[in-house]
Structure 1
Amino acid sequence: MDDRGGVDDIDGLLRDAFGNMTNLEEENNGLNEDAKRFYKLVDEAGLELYPNCTIGFSRLSFIIRLYHLKCLHGWSNTSFTSLLELLKEAITDLNIPTSSNKAKNMVKDLGLDYENIDACPNDYMLYWNEYINDSVFHICRESRYNQTPTMEGNEDDFALPNKVHKVAVKTLRYFSLIPRLKRLFMCPNTAEALRWHDKQRLKDGCIRHLADGQAWKNLDTRYLNFSKELHNLSLGFASDGFNPFRTMNVSYSTWPVVLMVYNFPSWMSMKSEYCMLSLLIPGPCSLGNNTDIFLQPLMEELKELWVSGIDTYDSFKGETFQMHDALLWTINDFPAYAMLSGWSTKGKLACPCCNHDTSFCYLKHSQKAVYMDHRRFLPVDHAWRSNKRSFNGKTEFRDPPRMLTGEEVLDMLKSIDNALGKTQSKIDSIIGTLLDIPGKTKDHAKARYDLKEMGIRKNLHPINTKDGKRIKLARACFSMTKGEKSIFCGVLKKTKLLDGSASNISRCVQQEERKLYGYKTHDAHFMLHYLLQIPIKSILPDHVAVPLVRLCSFFRRLCQKEISLEEINGLESEIVETLC
């Protein structure tokens, strides 16, 4: 976001969204107290910046623009107050607050505020609710604050510490959810769009929107009181770690938690203006299973919205209703899935769907668990089930694992101590293996020794040289020559992409070294969908290229904007064969 992005048009946005609310209370008796207070703030904030102002700024838009610059460039509160005082002194008719606190309150009153919640530096607890006044956690005995002494006295004197300025060691930023959800219904256009999933969605059996999916339908069937009220919202939850310092030299992991409202049409629900930042969890380290500590404020609001609901004014229908919400989905990669759910996604029970019936094999030399029994999911009469030579040297006639129902999962969790906190990706592998990138390839000496240990793929077993000091690895069918790697990297280097589809992938290509570095997860998805199959079709033999092309096709078709249930069932059968 640049200096101007998203703030120049704030006055127009408010005017278009809410209109002139001066006489709204007289015209409509459906306003609750919260709505009356909000619309009054909007009208007051929309006052002219100065008499007969024609430059397109209102009082609110000008202050938001200034406050954005303050945050962007790190101005202190004192310097911001000095600037406001100078502007007011130079232009006496300027209708702006005269201090940083008053400017901040203008923004806060519109529901754009957040709460600072101190946390234990060891992630044991939040200093929140009954612990809000504590200064030391009783288990780890770590202090809540960094004790920073301030010095008083003249430069000629020996200044001694006089006061202690308390700064929390770790602080969670929490952006309350309920006020922002209520604001959605205070804009007539947005309030109408929140009914799109029921009133305007095409219902022909194809899946274009989450409301066409089975999870949404199951919720509607099971909770009739929730589904019959079209105001009620279905939410999605996403989180992942990122480095906020724009450099890989600094190891720091910050975890934002974002919520999406899926009642909107599909072209609106994932737009940035409708994605709500709920939590900003500080680093410097990844949270692991202690994520639940920081989710407490959000979970408390979600429970309140589900159980009792919140009085909310609907400006489209001109009435107050009881809004309820349901959290239906989480969006995350597999490691984050483990942190958010508590189910370990590594080791012998890594698959949350197969659960205790997960098929795994521990590789002695690579020292890790792998999962190779995909043939369990093939049709019972498939020829590959009895093919020993092409797989692990055994036949496979077991049925696929049965997925647990929600009731069974809840029953299993009854015996779990649910105490908070501490108690006393494939595309990377494919590219790393094809280009033989050290540290990323899955074809290395240890893997070859594992093949020997298992007694399969004898042509790939490591061979000791005559002097006994080195080993020789046979060339695998997917191995590329230097020339083929150059062609592969050259295709990615010369690729021109549409703006916004992915980052500049060509910058990640080191053509002289024939390697790829520094691409992001979204770039990996884009390469898997569209780019990977272009070079491999002309470089690799068919029995290697075809499975990879089918894998790329699977994800591309799965992520298309419209898909039928029959096609999903076909993809489910096809991906089993592709993996095998």
Structure 2
Amino acid sequence: MFDCTGRRFQNVEVGPNAEAKKFYRLVEEGKKPLYPGCTNFSMLSFIIRLYRLKCVHGITESGFSDLLILIKEAFPEANVPISFTATKNIIKDLGLDYQKIHACPNSCMFDKKNFNGAIETRQSAEPLTGTEVEQLLFGYKNQSIFFDLPYWKNNPLRHNLDVMHIEKNICDSILGTLLNISGKSKDHLAARFDLQEMGIRKSLHPMESADGKSYEINAALFDMSNKEKDIFCKVLKNAKLPYGCASNISRYVHTNEGKILGYKSHDAHFILHYLLQFAVKKSVN
């Protein structure tokens, strides 16, 4: 094709590119009425208004989808999407993008215009001690219950894992596994499948039953018989300890049921370091 100046234009029959198609689609949706005869809202303006309400009032995605379904059921002729995903596909071409940044507790990255990317060489601020943090939180209605522990305010890093409670969890797992306490043992079917997936301890792999509806597992080396469990519990229950030195352990040992429940963190520490090896040795012998 030539114009009056004699210049040749190529590919004039090619349609608009992808960006132009997005623009024309938004123009069409902006002209489309919300429902026949509606002059206050177009389909696009109503969706934008509704999406703004979602952002301002913190409506969840599922709640927003349910709201769209309710509007569609109440007004069948309304030109509205029926899900949050469909809504995003409509308004994503408006250019309302966002950028994720790492939020700092001191709000330093919220003022990113003044951030030049230079390395900070000044000495960092002195961190607050646990006592100073406790003083700042004095009078607060909601604060971490761990501050009620006598030693918690002296921890350099209070968000670190608490060794005392970790030790009790380990003691729970060991005793629960040795005595095969329901809900406490770590030797269960899922653990056996893990062994099978890792390709180790083939003798402990689960075996499918004949009917194919269940699995059978072999006893492990640490499994105790009822007699061994009885001896194990009696060693802990009959241990003679000085007053105040975990002397209450005996009341938490239920020999008839083969369980040890309700003991405290200090009791768990004493069991792990002093009593466990004697109880295991006695039950094995």
TM range (shorter): 0.3 to 0.5
- TM-score, length-normalised on structure 2? 0.45
The structure having more radius of gyration, on CA atoms, is 2
- TM-score, length-normalised on structure 1? 0.23
More helix per residue: 1 or 2?
Answer: 2
